Amino acid sequence: MSGKSGSCIECGGTLCAKLVQKVFTRKGRLIAVISDIPADVCEQCGAKSFKIAVVKKLETQLSGMNRSARKVEVPFAEYAA
Ligand SMILES: [Zn+2]
């Protein structure tokens, strides 16, 4: 896996594959903090872009977490289908 995967749509900067953390809220309530999400992060402006497969997996993961918020901080990979 190479670190570079294109250029930023915002500023044209170099994108770097990183694992990021993202906080999800709904109506002001914290739903989940998911860490270790693979994303392309711009080295210049910090813009994050996620692959469609990753977004879909996040949506699946979140939909299963709406009711039981016993554990809000979860790593992305743990829920991988
Ligand atoms: Zn950028």
Domain ranges of the chain: 4-79
Going from the Cα of 9 to the center of ligand 1, the distance in angstroms, rounded, reads 7
Return the structure tokens found at 58. Answer: 């996040």
26 contact partners, CB below 8 Å, separation of at least 6: 66
| Ligand 1 geometric centre to CA of 63 (Å) | 30
CA of 28 to the centre of ligand 1 (A): 28
* Å from CA of 47 to ligand 1 middle: 5
Domain 4-79: CATH class, spelled out: alpha beta
Kindly state the percentage of the chain with pLDDT values over 90: 51
What whole-number distance in Å separates Cα of residue 12 and Cα of residue 15? 9
Which tens digit of pLDDT belongs to each residue from 44-55? 999 999 999 999
**What's the pTM?**
0.72
At residue 42, does pLDDT exceed 90? yes
